[in-house]
Structure 1
Amino acid sequence: MDYTQEYEQKLVTAEEAVKIVKSGDWIDYGWCNGTVDALDRALAERTDELKDINLRGGILLKPLAIFEREDAGEHFTWNSWHMSGIERKMINRGCAYYTPIRYSELPRYYRDLSDKNNVAMLQVAPMDKHGFFNFGPNASHLAAVCETSAKIIVEVNENMPRCLGGFENGVHISDVDFIVEGENPPIGELGAGGPATDVDKAVAKLIVEEIPNGACLQLGIGGMPNAVGSLIAESDLKDLGVHTEMYVDAFVDIAKAGKINGSKKNIDRYRQAYAFGAGTKKMYDYLDDNPELLSAPVSYTNDIRSISALDNFMSINNAVDIDLFGQVSSESSGIKHISGAGGQLDFVLGAYLSNGGKSFICCSSTFKTKDGQLKSRILPTLHPGSVVTDTRANIHYLVTEYGKVNLKGLSTWQKCEAIISVAHPDFRDELIEEAEKMHIWRRSNK
């Protein structure tokens, strides 16, 4: 069937499309590198006409036009599912707020909403011959967004990679109300946070020696997971698989080194499954029309049942702080917002349920403040207000540059001793003193 005529009938300018927005609306703005561009600038032009507009989205890779004005918060509120550095700055301006949720629950949340979106705006790849607009590397929850929105506007970007192989990764023209042809800006990139440090490399080495041939990998974002990826790419490991929330550049390096073929995966054999991807152009070029990749909703990739079905599942994620009880905070330090819940807990739980699976929470033992003070990431108790991402019952392996410890099933004093053993030596006596006060210290005979 030829969809050309329907396409022409629905094709409008960005200025015309945003005229359907009215005060009080809830609007979905896309996700990560699929956040709208031309529509954002057009809506910003209507700022004075609008108030009480609530927007949903997350992982912004560039500032939004609607929030350029100092008084933007009087007209628009940003509700983020997972925050980037840009969004953290918006919190301080009083115009952005985080929405706590397990990322895997997001599609169901949209489908269960009593107050549906009035409008969904998404940046997509050009329509294919079957009438579908692909979501690019953002299958995530966008099919559910489209299903539950009164009006759908797609902004076509010729630079958006077509990410195929799975399901719920596009919207059909018959469900679209307006089509906008944007200016085709480059897809937003997300770097790995700079070159790996010596600490990153030390942690990576400790993790990689735990990974068997045929393992299935999940990597988080950041220097340490990136260092793990680089070390895997240089290793003798083989027959690896990928099943991850976020596709990152490290997977491209591992795949191009010939380490990934997915031959040992119990499900989605020979395929690399992911919910969304953010990285450099190298990664987007690799994802584009690649039949080896599987773009799927986050309710599938992050489902504990999917994760646990894969043998030798290796989950590798960062932490901000951890305390002597084994509580992990990956979202905040005190009340200072840093990140979101994402899928870390799903992968921590799912990996442990996997046959031969392991989950690794990794962090540097210390960090330096702006004035040069050395601070421990391992604390007696988390800072007041810190959000617990993984409870003390969930953590499996903890890894710092000083070692790795398996904390599963340990009593409070055993766990406390193990955690202190991988703390920076300068802080161990102080941690022991605090542990004694909390009655969780009993030095073993080791």
Structure 2
Amino acid sequence: MSKINRSYSISKTSFLGAAMGTMVEYYDYALFALFLPIIAPIFFAANTAYASLVKGYYILMIAMIARPIGGLLFGYIGDLVGRRKALVSSIYGIAMATLAIGVIPSYHYLGFWSAILILIAKSIQLLCFGGEYNGAGIYVVEHAQGNREALLGSFLTATTLLGALLATFIGVILTLPLMPAWSWRVAFILGGLLGLWTMLYRKNLLESPNFRPAQLKAHGLVNLFKLYPRELVAGIFVGGFSTLPFTTVLIFINPVLMTQGYLTSHELMLLQCLLVIVAIGIIITAGHLADKFLPTKVMQVGVLFLAVFSYSLLRLIDSGVLSLIIVAELLLIVFNEILLGPSNAYLKNLFSEQYRYRGASLSFCLGMSLIGGLTPVIENYFYRSTGSFGNIIWWLLIISLGTFASLKWVEFKNFSKDKREG
């Protein structure tokens, strides 16, 4: 029997249980991005470091397919069995997959099979990611009281960046010259152990006050698509945009700058540490503003800023001047977090409680997988065609305009509904 909390204010224990899981998730996610330039030559044999890096992008793209499947799987658990049960299951899978990445032997020992094992472990990890962030966001926001939904949701989102910050801090230490070549494995093993500890903590959480077991037949997947087509499209674009600048900067641009000698691995870690610290402040500010001006309005501002200013910022990165690179990357991340801050409250209000976990997780994860998984591959194609980061503007514009249109589409639907009911 699930323990149900009928109070509509979240306790510190419940918030901490949700937040620790999202922190571990993004610790693990950032860890792979941060260490990819280091581990790619270890597992993905190629003639150059850049070629190994590109193979790593393809591994990530293939593994990303698992994320929306996980969103659907854990969405069913969350809507039919309980939010708490889904959160316990997802963090367990994340922990075990992260531990596996830390102990898989290199290409030198296993040959091609080392890359296959990395792909399997990363796929399992991303499958479980599919039920983690959105599930925790729903769990937290369902406890919120009225006008504090976006702010409370933004605090949870900020903990994801605390996870990325922890990963970066550990990366700074483990990339010091005195560290052994295998020290990166320590970071993944630590992430797995943190995940297992979080799983044990979550077993004692109360169930969400909004949870009512949905009837599988009455509230099945077909009805989700019939009732919420616009909302699902909006969720896909929100999920995709939420990872677009982050993936562009941390997974594509910075590793390329490192392989070209503009940044050392240690400088790369320090730069990304700065980016994450700034992002935390922007997320909470955006959540606070969203409670005053509505989440969709604040999110649209972030999307428009990226569409208008990203080309100029990418050209600054092309200059190769470290100070200009830092300014440009800071602003790209800021635009991303303006949308991400209110996103938990926005997604929660797109779907009724019987479809909420599935609708939010499936759509958000589809966006992250389709757009996040394709981003480094597509951006690499545009970059290689001219040798300029400015050329990747076309991909950023397509996703930005699609996101803005989907936000307005749902806004128009709700306006029309209110007008009819009025």
TM-score band, normalised by shorter chain: under 0.3
- Which structure has the highest helix share of the two? 2
Which one has a bigger Cα radius of gyration? 1
Superposition TM-score, scaled by structure 2 size = 0.25
> Using CA pairs below 8 Å that are at least 6 residues apart, which structure has the higher relative contact order?
2
- Which structure has the highest strand share of the two? 1
